[in-house]
Structure 1
Amino acid sequence: MKSATGSRTTVAAPLSPPLVKRIRKKHRLFLLGAGWLATRALMLWLLTHDQYPLLGRGGVAREVWKLYFHWYGVLRHGAFPSGDQLWQYPPGAGAVLLSPALVPGLTYFQAFVVLTLVTDAVIVLALARAGTRRGSTLLGAALWTAGLPLLLHIPLARYDVQVTAFAVISLLAVPRHARTSGVFAALGALVKVWPALALIGTPRGRTTRQAWTAALVTVVTLLAVVEALFRNPFDFLRQQGGRGVQIESLGGTVLMFARRAGWPVRTRYQYGAVEFVGPHVHLVAVGSLVLTGAAFALLLLWRLQNRRWTPATPYDAALTAVLLFTVTSRVISPQYMIWLVGLAAVCLTSRHTTQRPVALLLLAATAVSAVEYPAYYGEVVNSTWTGCVLMLARNGLLMSAAVVSLVRLWRSGHPLAERPETDASSWISDRIPAYFRTGGELPLNR
């Protein structure tokens, strides 16, 4: 093209859409990586300063350098803890507690934290990889990156990040590698039973047969190996059965308000947690078990009656299942939120998920959990009004999330039961994170 003066000017050709998308994808991945590094650095700083009152006066880190290290010493001699009320975990937990020996030159505590961060990085990479596939989004990786630090430094001093990694990988493997999914679900179940629920939403037919068969073979084989190599691998069953009502559970919240009203219950440290003891506390514990059984029945009924499987159904079903079992449990420790954030992140990797409002509720519950423990744990133990309100807020959010999760899962499998969504939570959850789903373009209409 010639200008008015006769000189020739060139017009740059516009970038092709695929190139624009690649640039945007790299930009989002860069932001994701930078966010992970910044938040994990903050978590490490909090862990090194956890002697402050609002950070637990050293109680969070003590779990690793004292209790885990004690069990490590027992396991190194070829035996699982016997008669130890605090040991309530399946045999696979022993492998996680022994793993710091693989990192030479560091103390047990340092090696444990390093391995936890490595596992955390594996999770975000797996979520990011899944989010870059066709029909997927990076919102799941963003949720995990931003959601885990809401628990402050707790995730670095518990082995729940490692357990969550098994469940995340198991779920992400369902569409393409059913047997691999079953193996990872089994490995997670051998560490902390709940990852077995990752298989509850596998599509009927070949996928379910392959995943469940692989899981069963893995469990039987590894239990046989553990039985041959270690002493007392199943002693944990006796300790788990003796647990009561932890103060942070749903039943514990009821007892907290009853205590404020004058009911003669008190708290005691036992089985590794602060639990309620006193008149009729046992009935509350039994009630929790009954509710857990009812939750299992609901999930079984859903699976039998579900009419439609979408790419997100296995993810959504796993989150619903773990949520139901969590809210009906006799124990809801703050680290349980790690599981739920991880499963919600898997759900949000798919554009077909029904669980976006649930993810928002879980983020709110996670933030309240960090306020309740470690900052105001003394208030919760003593059942002050502050402690009561904090537990009511956290467990109320979890209950709401469980109900919404189950309803939305059920409707997704029964198309005739679906109704137009007009609630504010769905509108907000569909639009605020749109940058990560659409490459920076906000959808104005559904």
Structure 2
Amino acid sequence: MDRTGVRRALVLLLAAWGATRLVLLLFVLKVFVFPGADVTTDVSVIYQGWYEVLRHGTFPLDDVTWQYPPAAALAILSPVLLPFLDYPTAFFVLACLADLAVLCLLLYAGLRPGRTLRGASVWVLGVPLLGPTVYSRYDLMVTAVAVAALLAGARHPRIMGALAGFGAMVKVWPALLLVGAVRRRAWTSAAVTAGAVGALLAVAMPGAFAFLTFQRDRGTEVESLGALVFHIARHFGWHGEVLLNYGSIEFLGPDVQAVSTAALLLTALAFGWLLLWRLSAVRFRSHTLADAAFTAVLMFTVTSRVISPQYMVWLVGLAAVCLCFRAGRMTLPAVLLLLATFVTVLEFPVGFSHVVVSDWYGITLLVLRNGLLLAATVTAARVLWRATVTETAVAPFPSQATRTKETPLSS
């Protein structure tokens, strides 16, 4: 693309980002009312309540809805950086700044040789598809850390590992970024960072790891893949309940434990596949790190007994990094993900009442959203396997010198 074309693309992306994010801010600040449930109460009630506890030097030990690693406290406490604003407004502004930081990272990466601005386009388009939910959860801040980690990973494995380790102490899933890392330095840096952050917070504030026991009695969240069993079963005499449990709307009753156990088994199988892939892969290119992370988080999300709407922003961020690489092959999974993201906002908050009562409109939305996510997962796994494992059947097996040359780009 010539300089004029690059400038035009940058102007369009920045203008689109500015317009869509202004609308998001107007929704979360309630200048406009978004249809469906009020998603901002998580900030004004739950987060602000945790903030009041955390600022006194302890974790919310009596609140079973606190189910996050200790560094999540930093995200909850972050509005203290803007003391001239009330807590909710400060949180929304910081979420918007995290959104902008991701865009800047993707633009910078997209302008480098061998890269494209497709990743930035995915981010600009994908985030507003989630509606105001995306600014009403701290997941956008975690995603910013994950995007920075993946973009650093191509040349700076220690920085990548440190960011992944820190991210894992904020919300666990960034640990999956290491799936495609081939340099030991990345793993070591991640372990050291996670250990140091966890130890520091455990010493500074009591109850840092109490969250590990708070999910023991969870049911199956109504938006998950496994929940479709009960949505349909309710039309054929299943007599369980739908209740607010551990911070989300879940199915509780007969056979719920069996479905939850099946979900855990599917997660174990997904990790088994990832291990098999890692042992079988012989071609690691500059985009493999991002492709592997995207695939791993898709697998984790689809097999989870909880699929909250804000999880989609993780995937949008990872898909955006994948599409920053001109040689990347995750275009189809990314498109499927964007479609799933659009259906997600129709399901929550717009149509959530239909989901809770399991009417056929709600079931249709869930089947469509979860089906698109499942299709994206299978497609991404197939693309990753073919690019790193089976293509060696037609390409010469790389010599040690070739692998050594390619490895630094994928560390």
Tell me whether 1:233 sits opposite 2:214 in the alignment: no
The answer to whether structure 1 residue 378 and structure 2 residue 357 are counterparts is no
* 1:353-364 paired onto structure 2 within 5 Å: 353-364=328-339
Matched ranges for 1:318-397 at <5 A: 318-397=293-372
Aligned residues of 1:245 and 1:251 also touching (Cα < 8 A): yes
Alpha-carbon deviation of 1:260?
A: 1.7
Match of 1:31 in 2: 12
Number of the residue aligned with 1:438: none
Tell me if 1:149 matches 2:120: no
1:53 to partner: Cα distance? 7.0
1:42 corresponds to which residue?
A: 23
SS at structure 2 position matched to 1:275: strand
CA distance, structure 1, for counterparts of residue 31 and residue 227 of structure 2: 26
Structure 2 counterpart SS, 1:353? coil
Report the Cα offset of residue 418 of structure 1: 8.2
Shift of the 64–50 alpha-carbon distance from structure 1 to 2, 3 Å rule, reads farther
Match of 2:62 in 1: 83
Aligned to 1:164: 143
Partners of 2:26 and 2:32 within 8 A in 1: no
Amino acid at match of 2:9: R
Q: Which of the two has higher C-alpha Rg?
A: 1
Inter-partner Cα distance in structure 2 for 1:343 and 1:235: 29
Q: Specify the SS of the correspondent of 1:231.
A: coil
Answering whether residue 81 of structure 2 is matched by residue 102 of structure 1, we say yes
> Does the aligned pair in 1 maintain the 2:270–2:299 contact within 8 Å?
yes
Name the residue aligned to 2:177. Answer: 198
Contact 1:288–1:328 (Cα < 8 Å) also in 2 = yes
* Secondary structure of 2:2 counterpart: helix
Distance 1:119 1:134 in 2: 25
- Mapped partners of 2:187, 2:119: distance in 1: 26
The residue correspondences of 1:232-251 to structure 2 (distance < 5 A) are 232-251=207-226
- Given that residues 36 and 352 in structure 2 are in contact (C-alpha distance below 8 angstroms), is that contact kept between their aligned partners in structure 1? no
- Pairs aligned (count): 394
8 Å contact kept, 1:411–1:418: no
**Cα distance between partner residues in 2 of 1:397 and 1:50:** 33
Q: CA offset at residue 223 of structure 1?
A: 1.3
CA distance in 2 between partners of 1:338 and 1:418 (Å): 36
The question of whether the paired residues in 1 share the 8 Å contact of 2:28 and 2:92 is answered with: no
Distance (Å, rounded) in 2 between the aligned partners of 1:352 and 1:251: 35
Q: Distance in 2 between matches of 1:211 and 1:84?
A: 35
Deviations 1:383-409 (A, max 9, x none): 011111110110011111111110110
Instruction: Return closer, same or farther for 1:352/1:418 CA change in 2, 3 Å cut-off.
Output: farther
Q: Over the residues paired in the alignment, what is the CA RMSD in angstroms?
A: 1.4
Deviation string 1:298-356 (CA, Å, 9 cap, x unpaired) is 00110010010111100100000000000000100111100000000000000121210
Of 268, 273, 276, the match for 2:248: 273
Per the TM alignment, residue 27 of structure 1 is displaced from its structure 2 partner at its CA by 1.6
Structure 2: how far apart are the matches of 1:379 and 1:296?
33
Aligned to 1:255: 230
- Structure 1 counterpart SS, 2:243: strand
Deviation per residue, 1:64-97 (Å, 9 max, x gap): 0110000000001110011311100000100111
Contact 1:81 1:235 in 2 (8 A): no
CA contact (8 A) 2:36 2:351 kept: no
Show structure 1 runs of 5+ residues with no match: 1-19, 420-446
What residue in structure 2 maps to residue 125 of structure 1? 104
Distance 1:416 1:148 in 2: 34
The whole-number CA distance in structure 1 between the counterparts of 2:207 and 2:41 is: 25
Deviation readout 1:276-299 (Å, 9 max, x if unpaired)? 011111000000000000000000
Residue identity matched to 2:71: G
Task: Determine the C-alpha separation between the residues in 2 that align with 1:155 and 1:328.
Answer: 22
Between the aligned partners of 2:325 and 2:73, the Cα distance in structure 1 is 34
Alignment CA distance shift 1:374-1:418 (3 Å):
farther
Could you tell me how far 1:269 is from its partner in structure 2? 0.7
Contact 1:50–1:60, Cα closer than 8 Å, also in 2? no
TM-score calculated relative to the size of structure 2: 0.93
Q: Which residue of 2 aligns with 1:4?
A: none
- Are positions 1:74 and 2:26 aligned together? no
Asked if the contact 1:74/1:81 (under 8 Å) is kept, the reply is yes
2:388 to 413, 417, 435: 413
Partners of 2:187 and 2:282 in 1: CA distance: 20
**Shift of the alpha carbon at 1:220?**
1.1
Q: Distance in 1 between matches of 2:78 and 2:229?
A: 39
Q: 1:29-61: per-residue Cα shift (whole Å, max 9, x none)?
A: 1111111101101111222338847242xx201
Tell me how far 1:379 sits from its aligned partner.
0.5
**Does 1:314 pair with 2:294?**
no
Distance verdict in 2 for CA 1:402–1:417, change over 3 Å? farther
CA deviations over 1:186-238 (Å, ceiling 9, x no partner)? 11100100011111111x3xxx2111111111111111111111011111111
Unmatched tracts of structure 2, length 5 or more: 395-411
Q: Tell me whether 1:189 sits opposite 2:168 in the alignment.
A: yes
Distance 1:418 1:241 in 2: 46
